[in-house]
Amino acid sequence: MIVIAGGGTGGHTSPGLAVAAALRARGVACAWIGSRSGLEARRAPEAGIPYHAIRTGKLRRALAWQNVPDVFVNAPAGVLQAWRLLRRLRPRVVFATGGFVALPVALAGALARVPVVVHEQTAVPGLANRVAARLARRVAVTFAESARLFGGTPTVVTGNPLRPELRSGSRAAALERFGFDPVLPLVYVTGGAQGSHAINRAVGEVLADLLTHTQCLHQSGDNQATGDRTWLQARRAALTPALAARYALRPWVGDELADVYAAAALVVSRAGAGTVNECCQLGVPALYIPLPSAAGDEQTANARL
């Protein structure tokens, strides 16, 4: 039994899914400990992985009133819940992929004397993984350059695990699914699982020009606060029928992602570790727009490496 811990975003969830698939193919049982509302809470059960939710407290570098309940109530409660789960599940290893939910599980692993392995996807380690690494037997890193940032904990360069199904995409299937022209190049725009307000607005402003020479699959997210998806639907409605047929708008892309990568001539995206790794391993050209507010400017570092 291996327990996977982590999530919140696609970057922390996808490596866990890839590792779980590889382990289960070898007959190793897996379980996932995550948050109640993160992406992993949906994706792990969809993959058939037993899922256990715990309370979580987010680590913030800046002073904020939210730190009080998170640090003094939610995080300790999460450690206790994780410890009880580990005592019941009795795993051989905890594989922590990062995100604020991974840290209480790593702490519980140390208390329960379960070996912890941390995986760092980005070039600049996040705060949760920096702390969890101090409790770990090993830290697996995606980029060799980040190994030195983990102090005395032994590191190994593994790269970022890729879900095997992403290698078997069908261009023809993607074109048929979205009704695209097999001749025109396809641009896949994504801001990550939650979407990007800046990218959504930039693409919407130049939509007619973009579609003059290409066709576009746009994964916008469905953030009700920004209203981007509704605004983009209105932009599409203002196009001529011929151009509108070249634009597919989706709140998210799921099982069809492998086909989308197989069909894409260009990916326009943030520079999260997951997307950068997928484009590199699959050989898909990409234009990266790093998130300026990412901790430690990690997305710029990901794009450069």
Is it the case that residue 304 has pLDDT exceeding 80? yes
Architecture of domain 166-304: 3-Layer(aba) Sandwich (3.40)
Same CATH fold, 166-304 and 2-161? yes
Distance of CA 238 to the CA centre of its chain: 33
Question: Over the stretch 227-239, which tens digit does the pLDDT of each residue have?
Answer: 999 999 999 999 9
Q: Give the HSE-up count for residue 203: Cα atoms under 13 Å, Cβ half-sphere.
A: 32
Is it the case that residue 63 has pLDDT exceeding 80? no
Helix (H/G/I), strand (E/B), else coil: 114: coil
Are 264 and 255 in contact by the 8 Å Cβ rule? The answer is no
Question: Over the stretch 182-216, which tens digit does the pLDDT of each residue have?
Answer: 999 999 999 887 889 999 999 999 999 999 999 99
Is domain 2-161 classified as CATH 3.30.300.160?
no
Positive or negative, the Cα torsion across 135, 102, 158, 23?
positive
Question: Over the stretch 128-154, which tens digit does the pLDDT of each residue have?
Answer: 899 999 999 999 999 888 898 898 899
Q: In sequence order, what are the residues at sequence separation of 6 or more whose Cβ sits closer than 8 angstroms to the Cβ of residue 136?
A: 96, 106, 116, 117, 118, 153
Query: Any idea what DSSP says for residue 185?
Result: P
Question: Over the stretch 117-130, which tens digit does the pLDDT of each residue have?
Answer: 999 998 888 888 99
Is it the case that residue 305 has pLDDT exceeding 80? no
146: tokens are 């980040």
Residue with tokens 């020479």: 213
pLDDT at 75: 81
Question: Over the stretch 9-37, which tens digit does the pLDDT of each residue have?
Answer: 888 999 999 999 999 999 999 999 999 98
Domain ranges of the chain: 2-161, 166-304
Is it the case that residue 72 has pLDDT exceeding 80? no
Read off the pTM.
0.83
